[in-house]
Amino acid sequence: MKKKKELKISRRTVMKGALAAGAMMSAGSIPSKLFAGEYNIPDPLKPLPTTGGNMRWIDSGDMKGVFWKKLFPEYAASRGITIEYDGLPWKEINKIVPIAIRNGTVHDVFQLPLGMDPGVAVAEGWVQPWDDYIENIDEWLAAFPSGVYLPGVNQFNGKTYGTCLTANKRTGTCLLYSEKYMSEAGYDPQAGRMTYSEIRDAAKKITKNGNGQYYGWIIGGNQVNRWEDVVHTFGQVGGAHSGRGGFTNRHINFQNGKFQIASDQYMEAVELLLQLKSDGSAFPGVMSMNAPQARALMPQGAAGMIFQGPWCIGVWGRDAPDWKYGIASEPVPDGKEAQPLYIAEGGSNTFWLSANSTMGPFAGDLIRFMGTEQGQIYWAQTVGAADPAVNPDAVAKAGLTGPSAQALSMFAENILVGPNPIVRNKDVGIVAAKSRVPDPSLALVIQGLYTGQLKGVEAQLKDCNQRYEDALDKAVEEARADGANVTRDDWVFPNWDVYSNYGAEKYQEL
Amino acid sequence: MHKKPLSKQIYDARWCYLFVLPCSILTGMFVIYPIGMSWYFSLLDWSGFTKEAKFIGLQNYYEAVNDEFFWDAFIRSFIFMFGTVPVKIVLGFIIAVFLNNQVLKLAPFFRTVIFMPVVTAIAIIGIVMTFVFSPFNGPANKFLMSTNLTSAPIDFLGNPDTVLPTVMGVYVWKWLGITMMYWLAALQTVPQDVYDAAKIDGAEGYRLWIHIILPIVLPFAIVIILVEAVGALNVFPLIETMTAGGPFFSSEVMEIYIFRTAFVTDSGTMPRLGYACAAGVFWGVAVLFITVLQGLWMRRTRRI
């Protein structure tokens, strides 16, 4: 006969429970010390609602997701709420968020689809300002480096609608390589920036050494933005100076305000990709895999090189800790010196608070904490170079080593702040809202050239360039018809020195 | 005899109308209203989720019919239909004939096996098939390589020449079971007497099928073709999960085209719901036209 288990509750257990319950009821919020975990989450600056609730949060995942999944349970427990987190690729964010906004079910905190003008989100009433939910917001904002919070970018009508915890000083097309395969091919990317010829030769040698078991180079080719990212950044390194961001910044040379898709540097970059294919160095099947799938094949030994972002570092560190890889700057065309890359002012990974959200006090409390030095150190320690924390002091104190530290120093060396037309004239935001990337986009043109469905690199890029020019002209025209005070001259920055940061004083000179 | 006024007729049949009412309300809400709104939206320059919407008349239609990618997708949808429906109809019929044989003891087992993909979630099938057809360690390529049918792996879903046939093959495999069930239902309407009488008259083998059974099940065939044709024009989840219309539009059918313009743009600029509605309305009318043609064909065949 089974012996019935006796329920024994010690006096100490009862006291512990009573203490916890009493603390919960009396404080209105739960002191974080009761939930001591990996993070020391401070008490909120003012009492939070005691009603609890569920906060829904969506962003583009990757290493952000790794961090949030560690922090959210602790934060939620300390505040007596639950947090539902969805970390999804940008491709999914671009689909889900617009539909969710349309049907009124968007998450409490979300990221806007890539390239979407934030001014539209504010004007349409999809988002609400953080000002009411972040205590002493002016003091909090003052702790961020200058240029992160800007009118027309994340601040509108004197209020802060978008919060940035991360810097945008990074590229998504670094050379990431297998140390073993690369050294067997006789190359060391750490010795200096590799040229296109060297990349091609290394890819050939790796493929030859692989004998059908592995290949020189891989890319997530069915994720079309990868093609555009590579050509854009390589083109910049080659000397096609241009902006980064959405349609109204990307590929535009701010010295003359014109798209430079048909520039020699872009053509050389496309040719490099086509040569990798014609050499037989490309992994077979790149057209049927997305970027995360291609990334996942690298530690499995399927390829020697991939042009990807620093977000791979954390993922590989977690999934393949023993795999030896290196990170280096993007290659440079033969006989040329690498040119700077440019980012627009502002941060990255901007978080927006849904206008319908009732979880603002909790979201604001969490964002406020993440903007403090301690929050930024926590962020940097987990996310590393994948999405660098925006506070440089915190990054320095995070004690990063290895590829993360190397990537950050590489970005600091290679990237400058370039002009941003929307900072100069907020009506550029209206143009952005009217803009439509023409069909086929540059990303698709490169994909079509790679698959052989399109012929003639020069002719295709020239056509594409003209389509982009026409599309921007049309958007400017439509914006002007709606009363916007904007012309194509707003994209011309004659005082842009391509070898120095474009700061506030430069805008004043215009 | 004096005919009752309409109001009196309605009053007399009030219970019938009452019972029809819930269905009418639901049809109105979920069929009539969306169709009506899509016609209206097709006349607007509207992203779908901003307040700003401008009436532009038929401009979206004009743009659609002048867009080569629209026509490519339009034609591709019909290639998909003509490439899959005959295969499914013929294969489904052959399998049904075999499995309709009472002597075959394992018929229920084979029926279940063939029907199993039908009840599997299509998105799961789409994703699993991307692995099956992967050129790197995918089972399809492993088989081809190990049997020396190919010397190098084939990028089934990444090659513009093979992507559509591959997706069509998966579609046929996924839905073959339902076609087989339609045929089985049709074959089971043929009375046993007919088989017996045919045998007495000396009709056996292919003669029995061509001259006796096929004419009996022909009206069913027309219905099956109609259902299959409309089904083959609704393949969004399979293609979206397997290829999302790529590479470079090679597998972009109309539904993917509409989805892309309505909700997702490559570079994240504003989508165009108004334009997508115009494309959708145009496509809907085309499908309706084909359905009407098939309906007329069915009526004619019945008369024969």
Residue A418 has pLDDT above 80, yes or no: yes
Residue A10 has pLDDT above 70, yes or no: no
pLDDT digits (tens, 9 = 90+) for B31-84: 999 999 999 999 999 887 777 788 999 999 999 999 999 999 999 999 999 999
Residue A315 has pLDDT above 50, yes or no: yes
Residue A1 has pLDDT above 50, yes or no: no
Same domain, A60 and A118: yes
Does some domain include residue B5? no
How close A77 comes to chain B (CA, Å)? 35
Interface probe, candidates A95, A213, A287, A482, chain B, greatest B C-beta count within 10 A: A287
Does some domain include residue A221? yes
Same domain, A187 and A279: yes
Q: Which residue of B has its CA nearest to A95?
A: B264
Determine whether the interchain pair A288/B48 forms a contact, defined as Cβ–Cβ distance below 8 Å.
Answer: no
pLDDT number for residue A37:
65
- Burial of residue A493 (CB within 10 Å: 0-12, 13-18, 19+) is buried
Same domain, A224 and A337: yes
Residue A69 has pLDDT above 90, yes or no: yes
Does some domain include residue A11? no
How close A449 comes to chain B (CA, Å)? 9
Q: Which residue of B has its CA nearest to A104?
A: B49
Contacts of B246 in chain A (CB under 8 A): 222, 224, 287, 447
Same domain, A452 and A317: yes
Residue A14 has pLDDT above 70, yes or no: no
Residue B225 has pLDDT above 70, yes or no: yes
Query: B163-187 vs B214-232: helix axis angle to the nearest 10?
Result: 140
CA B269 to chain centre: 31
Same domain, A203 and A339: yes
pLDDT number for residue A15:
47
pLDDT digits (tens, 9 = 90+) for B273-286: 999 999 999 999 99
Determine whether the interchain pair A443/B267 forms a contact, defined as Cβ–Cβ distance below 8 Å.
Answer: yes
Does some domain include residue A83? yes
pLDDT number for residue A289:
86
Candidate from A94, A439, A447 with C-beta closest to B268? A94
End-to-end alpha-carbon separation of chain B, Å? 37
pLDDT number for residue B264:
67
Mean pLDDT over residues A445-463, rounded? 96
pLDDT number for residue A58:
96
Distance CA A240, CA A332 (A): 12
pLDDT number for residue B195:
84
Mean pLDDT over residues B215-228, rounded? 88
Phi-psi region of A398 (alpha: psi -120 to 50; beta: other; left: phi over 0): alpha
Q: Which residue of A has its CA nearest to B246?
A: A222
Task: Compute the count of residue pairs across chains A and B with CB atoms less than 8 Å apart.
Answer: 126
Does some domain include residue A473? yes
Same domain, A359 and A432: no
Q: Which residue type is seen at B100?
A: N
- Contact (CB, 8 A) for A446 and A440: no
Identify the band that residue A9 occupies on the pLDDT scale cut at 50, 70 and 90: very low
Does some domain include residue B99? yes
User: Taking Cα atoms as reference points, which of A171, A139, A223 lies closest to residue A348?
Assistant: A171
Residue A495 has pLDDT above 50, yes or no: yes
Contacts of B71 in chain A (CB under 8 A): none
Tracing tokens 């513009």 back to the chain, one arrives at B160
- Contact (CB, 8 A) for A314 and A66: yes
Mean pLDDT over residues A322-329, rounded? 96
Residue B1 has pLDDT above 90, yes or no: no
Final residue in a domain of this structure, among A391, A417, A443: A417
Q: What is the SS3 assignment for A479?
A: helix
Q: Which residues contact A30 (CB under 8 A, 6 or more apart)?
A: A23, A24, A77, A78, A79, A80
Owning domain of residue B98: 59-303
Tracing tokens 């320095």 back to the chain, one arrives at A396
Contacts of A99 in chain B (CB under 8 A): 263
pLDDT number for residue A222:
85
pLDDT number for residue A103:
84
Identify the band that residue B304 occupies on the pLDDT scale cut at 50, 70 and 90: low
User: Taking Cα atoms as reference points, which of A330, A326, A233, A226 lies closest to residue A286?
Assistant: A226
Residue A229 has pLDDT above 60, yes or no: yes
Query: Is the reported ipTM for this assembly greater than 0.95?
Result: no
- Residues A300-319 as b/e (b if ≥16 CB within 10 A, e otherwise) read eebbbbbbbbbbbbbbbbee
Residue A35 has pLDDT above 80, yes or no: no
CA angle A422, A497, A471 (to 5 degrees): 40
pLDDT number for residue A200:
98
Residue B183 has pLDDT above 60, yes or no: yes
Does some domain include residue B286? yes
Candidate from A116, A448, A451 with C-beta closest to B268? A116
Contacts of A297 in chain B (CB under 8 A): 136
CA A208 to chain centre: 35
Contacts of A101 in chain B (CB under 8 A): 49
pLDDT number for residue A181:
98
Owning domain of residue A113: 53-163+346-417
Determine whether the interchain pair B130/A440 forms a contact, defined as Cβ–Cβ distance below 8 Å.
Answer: no
Identify the band that residue A32 occupies on the pLDDT scale cut at 50, 70 and 90: very low
Final residue in a domain of this structure, among A393, A417, A441: A417
Identify the band that residue A466 occupies on the pLDDT scale cut at 50, 70 and 90: very high
Determine whether the interchain pair B268/A448 forms a contact, defined as Cβ–Cβ distance below 8 Å.
Answer: no
pLDDT number for residue A2:
43
Helices then strands (H, E): number in chain A? 20, 18
- Contact (CB, 8 A) for B276 and B261: yes
How close B270 comes to chain A (CA, Å)? 6
pLDDT digits (tens, 9 = 90+) for A111-147: 998 767 788 888 888 999 999 999 999 999 999 988 8
Residue A22 has pLDDT above 50, yes or no: no
Q: How many domains does chain B have?
A: 1
Does some domain include residue A7? no
Please give the C-alpha separations between residue B123 and each of A280, A481, B43, in angstroms, as whole numbers. Answer: 33, 44, 33
Q: How many domains does chain A have?
A: 2
Structure letter (DSSP) for residue A28? S
Residue A26 has pLDDT above 70, yes or no: no
Does some domain include residue A277? yes
Does some domain include residue B133? yes
Contacts of B49 in chain A (CB under 8 A): 98, 101-102, 124
How close B60 comes to chain A (CA, Å)? 14
Final residue in a domain of this structure, among A386, A417, A448: A417
Identify the band that residue B222 occupies on the pLDDT scale cut at 50, 70 and 90: confident
Distance CA B124, CA B115 (A): 16
Distance CA A331, CA A340 (A): 12
Determine whether the interchain pair A247/B67 forms a contact, defined as Cβ–Cβ distance below 8 Å.
Answer: no
Distance CA A346, CA A328 (A): 25
pLDDT digits (tens, 9 = 90+) for A89-118: 877 887 788 889 888 899 999 999 876 778
Mean pLDDT over residues A484-503, rounded? 94
Contacts of A247 in chain B (CB under 8 A): 267, 269
Does some domain include residue B53? no
Residue A270 has pLDDT above 80, yes or no: yes
Does some domain include residue B23? no
CA A23 to chain centre: 40
Structure letter (DSSP) for residue A160? E
CATH code where residue B81 lies: 1.10.3720.10
pLDDT number for residue B303:
66
- Contact (CB, 8 A) for A278 and A284: no
Interface probe, candidates B270, B272, B277, chain A, greatest A C-beta count within 10 A: B270
Determine whether the interchain pair B135/A285 forms a contact, defined as Cβ–Cβ distance below 8 Å.
Answer: yes
Candidate from A98, A250, A444 with C-beta closest to B263? A98
Same domain, A327 and A474: yes
Residue A18 has pLDDT above 50, yes or no: no
Q: In which element (H, E) is residue A416 found?
A: strand A415-417
Q: Which residue of A has its CA nearest to B250?
A: A453
Same domain, A196 and A286: yes
Q: Is the dihedral of CA A405, A410, A411, A416 positive or negative?
A: positive
Mean pLDDT over residues B116-132, rounded? 93
User: Taking Cα atoms as reference points, which of B72, B84, B157 lies closest to residue A439?
Assistant: B72
CA angle A415, A419, A423 (to 5 degrees): 125
Contacts of B267 in chain A (CB under 8 A): 114-115, 225, 228, 246-247, 250, 437, 441, 443
Q: Which residues contact A336 (CB under 8 A, 6 or more apart)?
A: A238, A239
How close B80 comes to chain A (CA, Å)? 20
Distance CA A460, CA A358 (A): 50
pLDDT number for residue A92:
81
Tokens found for residue A49: 């609602």
Q: Which residue type is seen at A501?
A: N
β-partners of residue A324 are none
Same domain, A434 and A303: yes
pLDDT digits (tens, 9 = 90+) for A133-185: 999 999 999 999 888 898 888 999 899 999 999 988 889 999 999 999 999 99
Same domain, A474 and A358: no
pLDDT number for residue B269:
67
Identify the band that residue A232 occupies on the pLDDT scale cut at 50, 70 and 90: very high
Residue B258 has pLDDT above 60, yes or no: yes
Q: Which residue of B has its CA nearest to A102?
A: B49
Interface probe, candidates B133, B259, B267, B272, chain A, greatest A C-beta count within 10 A: B267
Does some domain include residue A29? no
Distance CA B259, CA A250 (A): 25
- Contact (CB, 8 A) for A261 and A468: yes
Interface probe, candidates B156, B248, B252, chain A, greatest A C-beta count within 10 A: B248
The proportion of chain A whose per-residue pLDDT surpasses 90, expressed as a percent, equals 66
Does some domain include residue B27? no
Please give the C-alpha separations between residue B71 and each of A41, B47, B78, in angstroms, as whole numbers. Answer: 57, 22, 11
- Contact (CB, 8 A) for A72 and A83: yes
Determine whether the interchain pair A447/B247 forms a contact, defined as Cβ–Cβ distance below 8 Å.
Answer: yes
Q: Which residue type is seen at B139?
A: P
Average pLDDT of chain A to the nearest whole number:
89
Does some domain include residue B251? yes
Residues of chain B whose beta carbon is less than 8 angstroms from a beta carbon of chain A are 48-51, 67, 69, 130, 133-136, 138, 152-153, 155-160, 243-244, 246-250, 263-272
User: Taking Cα atoms as reference points, which of A246, A404, A396, A250 lies closest to residue A327?
Assistant: A404
Determine whether the interchain pair B269/A454 forms a contact, defined as Cβ–Cβ distance below 8 Å.
Answer: no
Same domain, A230 and A361: no
Please give the C-alpha separations between residue A360 and each of A49, A352, A356, B80, B91, in angstroms, as whole numbers. Answer: 10, 11, 9, 49, 59
Determine whether the interchain pair B158/A221 forms a contact, defined as Cβ–Cβ distance below 8 Å.
Answer: yes
Q: Which residues contact B123 (CB under 8 A, 6 or more apart)?
A: B237, B241
Does some domain include residue A36? no
Least confident of A395-404, A466-475, B171-180: A395-404
pLDDT digits (tens, 9 = 90+) for A357-399: 999 999 999 999 999 999 999 999 999 888 899 998 999 999 8
Candidate from A113, A433, A440 with C-beta closest to B268? A113
- Burial of residue A194 (CB within 10 Å: 0-12, 13-18, 19+) is buried
CATH code where residue A221 lies: 3.40.190.10
Same domain, A338 and A353: no
